[in-house]
């Protein structure tokens, strides 16, 4: 698999899990990913069409969606 700078999925999920459970959403996952990218001096893909979709997801949907994406590799 190709190396992509910006931290790991575990780093991103850890940041979300530090919040109260009711705040675990797709939007929080995106914020966490963005934070990891900025920390690694990477560009945040703000114009990605997927972002709007993920932002509206509930936690269980985000987890399932990530799993589906990973299974595709």
CB-based contacts of 7: which residues, under 8 Å, 6+ apart? 36, 37, 39, 40
Element (H, E) at 69: helix 59-71
Residue scoring higher pLDDT (69 or 3): 69
Query: From CA 43, how far away is CA 63, in angstroms rounded?
Result: 23
How far is the first Cα of the chain from the last one, in angstroms, to the nearest whole number?
A: 8
pTM, to two decimals? 0.80
pLDDT at residue 28 in the model: 94
Question: Per-residue pLDDT averaged across 53-67, rounded?
Answer: 94
């Amino acid at each position: 698999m190709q190396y992509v700078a910006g931290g790991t999925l575990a780093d991103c999920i850890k940041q979300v899990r530090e919040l109260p459970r009711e705040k675990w959403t797709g939007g929080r996952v995106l914020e966490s990913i963005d934070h990891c990218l900025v920390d690694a001096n990477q560009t945040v893909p703000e114009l990605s069409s997927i972002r709007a979709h993920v932002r509206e997801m509930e936690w269980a949907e985000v987890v399932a969606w990530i799993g589906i994406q990973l299974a595709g590799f």
